[in-house]
Structures are given as structure tokens and as C-alpha cells.
Amino acid sequence: MPVETELYELLGVSFEATEDDIKRAYKRKAKEHHPDKNINDPEAGQKFQEMAAAYEILSDPHKREAYDLHGLDGMAGGRGDPMDAADLFTHLFASGGGHPMFGFDFGPDMGGRRRGKGEEVIPYEVTLEDLYNGKSVKMNMEKEIICGVCKGSGARGNAKPKPCSTCSGKGWTNSKTRLPTGVYANSRAQCTDCHGHGEKLKEKERCKKCKGEKIVKEKTRQEIFVEKGMSDRQRIVLAGAGDQEPGIPAGDVVFVLKAKPHESFERSGNDLLTNVTITLSEALLGFSRIILTHLDGRGIKMTSPPGKVIKFHESVVLRGEGMPIHRRPDEKGDLYVVFQIEMPDEQWLKTANKPAIEAILPAKRLEVDPLPEIVDEADFEESDIVDVGARSFPAGNFFDQGFASQFGEDEEDWEDEEDEEMDGEPECRPQ
């Protein structure tokens, strides 16, 4: 019998559960409590996080043993990796106090732990590779800490501050401002001598280190972990890592991830989409080669099935080659590959044997039937359809190739896409 059972209860399993039981229970719970599915529950992010942390401990035999023997407090005692799940946990459950630790929450509306000094929000730009592979970032920061010499009193030795003579201890002074109408108005301004405190120390009674300011600037080195599968706008909270001020708890430093667009991959949730260009010969006769380099540098080789003709914009799905799922390190989404077909160029045509090509290719199309009574001749003037497509056509999304602009919406939206191929032939028939 473990010393405490809180984590087991969170996942809804008995303390005798097997690793498989725990994995299954977590999967089910994580799905149910995922913040994306519970947007109206302000505590969803927190619940999700607690379950993830519970899973992290219970799914690891060593951590689980330590937890069974010592409980959470026992295993979080000091030492080591700040990302340790037990640390994260005690922080999530901490009732104030505690030492600075890491935590995560989801989006601006969820689980925002406002502290005395508020939070300092720092945007941090990441590439899709960073989000795929995970990344640890060390950065130098400057923050205000309570002066160690005077312990935040600002005084030297036991000196006590005296009421400020400039403001007579009020902390503010009256000042006259001349309004545009020519009238003088009285206003209050913070006393510049005591900075509004109403009391101050004589020059020689001030702490040498902070000059009576109670705080000093300190350069610190912060390390943040961009975890595999994190998303754009996800927040990484370094609780208590912000500026300090005597008498109030230190603020949080919050990094908000900003995902840079990738030149070959697009992401939608846990899935990825990419375009692969094949030649006309490959489209007709097949291929067996490395078609792309993945976000971790791996080459992905594919062999098309014999006898398969690949059409323009045809797509395939590579199961388990999408983004890693955050906090489920062994699982990934899917990768969708859309084939683009590169036609041979005019240089090739110049040297090619045209009658031979014509003889092997399917025949040219015949005139339309029935033949219209009136036929006008049109010039072949090239145009840039991209520009035209950028304008809005009330008729709908004829020019929308259906991927670039729709990908990134809802997963369900584009999965059915294959059914909606543009119908009709490239003929122009008057209505």
C-alpha cells in the first residue's frame, strides 16, 4: 500500500494497476479533459496538466516506486531537474510559498496564476523543427532581486528610516500645472525624494550595496524547455522567476511560443501537410525514392504501387509521421503528402520525337458535341491565376486549390477534401 494514492485517484486507477492500465486510463482521461475540448472550463488546463504530471510519474517504474514509498513531497525534495514531474506537481498543488518551479498552462484564459508582481510575458520564436524535436534554450536575463546585504530594508545596520522632509511623510507633493486656459491647477505628484514611501534614510544610513533601493539587478541564466509537440501560442511559465520586491511574492516569467511558418510543412493540430513534386514520368510510370526530408532530418523513402497513375493533387497519408503529441512521447499524428506534377519543359519538347510521343500518349480530345452554331476564336494569352485567385469570386472557391488556405483550420475540414474534386472538364461551354 503506497503512502498516498492521490495520483492514482487522479487517473482513476487502483494502486495495483499495471503499466498498461495506467496508459489506457491516462489516454481516456487526457482526451476527456483536453483544454481544446473544454474551452469553457477555466480549470481544464490545470486538470489536464495534473493528469499529465500524474502520468509522467506513474508510467515511470522508478518514479512510481519513489512515489509509492515517499509520496509527492518526499520525491520532490530539492535536488535536480527543474522539469521533474514531481516538482511540477508539488507546484501545481502548492498552496502558496514553495520554491521557484516550472509549470505550464494553456492560453491566456486558462490557469493564469497572477502573483504579486504580475507576470512578465516574453514572446519566443520557434521553428517547426523545434516543436517537432523539442529544444532546451538557455538565455541570459536581468531581473530585480531583493538586496542580500540589507535583506530588503535598504538600511545599513539597524538604521531606521525617518519621515521624508520634502513631503512631510505623505509620499506626495503638490504641484501647480498651468492649463492651456491659463489657469493654474493643483495636482499631486509622487514625491521624487522618497519615491512615495513617505520615509527615507539619510545618505550615510543607506545600504551600501543597493543604495537604499532595497532591490538590486541581477543577471540570471534561465533555461526553458520547448517540449516535443508544443503548439503556437503555448505558454511556458517560470513561476516566481520574475522581479522581486520586498513584501510581495515574486512575479512569473511567461514565455509565449510563436511558431514561425515553415517553408515545406504546414501543421494542423498533430498532423502535418507537405507537397512533393514528382515528374510526369514518375506520375505515369511510378517511383521508388526518397521523396522528402523530415523535420528531424530523416529521409522518407516511398515506392508507388505498380500500375498506379498519380494525378495532380492526389494525396497519401503517412500514419505516425506527423507531429509528436505533447506529453505522449511515443505517439505522433499523421503526415499528408500532396503530389504536384512537374510537366516537362519546352526545352525537352524541342528535342523530343513528337510523332512518337503522340503515338504513345492517349489521343487528343475531339471537338465538343453537339457543335455550337456560333464559334468565336480566342487568343492564347497567358495569365497569372494566382493573382486572379487572390480576388474574391462570389461564385465560390473555384480558384482555391483547397489546401494552403484551408489547412490550419479544423482537422475534419480537410480530411474529406478528396471527395470534392473539381468536376467538369477544362472545356468552356456557354450556359
Closest CB to Zn ion among 76 and 167? 167
Q: Which is nearer to Zn ion, 45 or 154 (CB)?
A: 154
Question: Under rule CB under 5 A, which residues in 307-366 are in contact with Zn ion?
Answer: none
Of 205, 193, 206, 187, whose CA–CA distance to 167 is shortest?
A: 193
Q: How far apart are CA 207 and CA 209, in angstroms?
A: 6
Residue 167 is a binding residue for Zn ion (CB under 5 A): yes
Binding to Zn ion by residue 149, rule CB under 5 A? yes
> Cell triple for residue 26?
491516462
The Cα angle at residue 111 between residues 140 and 218, in degrees rounded to 5: 20
Considering the complex, what minimum distance in angstroms separates the CB of residue 141 from Zn ion?
21
CB of 127 to Zn ion, least distance (A): 43
Q: State which residue, 154 or 251, has the beta carbon closest to Zn ion.
A: 154
Binding letters toward Zn ion, positions 97-136, x by CB under 5 A: ----------------------------------------
- Binding Zn ion (rule: CB under 5 A), the pick from 63, 70, 135, 209 is 209
| Shortest Å distance, C-beta 8 to Zn ion | 48
Give the interface size with Zn ion as a residue count (CB under 5 A).
12
Taking the complex as a whole, the smallest distance from the CB of residue 250 to Zn ion amounts, in Å, to: 17
Residue (107 or 198) nearer to Zn ion, CB: 198
Q: Which stretch binds Zn ion (CB under 5 A): 80-88, 148-156, 311-319, 391-399?
A: 148-156
Site mask for Zn ion (CB under 5 A), range 223-262, x = bound: ----------------------------------------
**Interacting residue with Zn ion among 136, 166, 190, 340 (CB under 5 A):** 166
DSSP 8-state secondary structure symbol assigned to residue 362? P
Q: How far apart are CA 162 and CA 79, in angstroms?
A: 44
What's the distance, Cα to Cα, between the start and end of the chain in Å?
A: 80
Q: Tell me the three state secondary structure of residue 237.
A: strand
Q: What are phi and psi of 403, to 5 degrees?
A: -115, -70
C-beta closer to Zn ion: residue 98 or 169? 169
40, 90 contact by CB (below 8 A): no
Positive/negative CA dihedral, 349, 354, 356, 362: positive
**Region from 12-20, 102-110, 150-158, 367-375 binding Zn ion, contact rule CB under 5 A:** 150-158
Separation CA 386–CA 399 (nearest Å): 8
Q: Which amino acid is at 101?
A: M
Binds Zn ion (CB under 5 A): choice among 22, 52, 53, 150: 150
Residues 6+ apart with CB under 8 A from 242: 115, 117, 118, 119, 120, 143, 250, 251, 252, 253
- Alpha-carbon gap, residue 134 to 295, rounded angstroms: 11
Query: Sign of torsion, CA 105 107 113 117?
Result: positive
Closest CA relative to residue 174, chosen from 183, 182, 184, 162: 184
Q: Rounded to an integer, what distance in angstroms lies between the CA atom of residue 69 and that of residue 314?
A: 56
44 or 194: whose CB is closer to Zn ion? 194
146 binds Zn ion (CB under 5 A): no
Q: From the list 4, 41, 120, 193, which residue makes contact with Zn ion (rule: CB under 5 A)?
A: 193
Shortest reach from residue 154's CB to Zn ion, in Å: 6
CB of 157 to Zn ion, least distance (A): 11
Q: Report how far residue 287's alpha carbon sits from residue 284's, in angstroms, rounded to the nearest whole number.
A: 9
Binding site for Zn ion (CB under 5 A): 147, 149-150, 164, 166-167, 191, 193-194, 207, 209-210
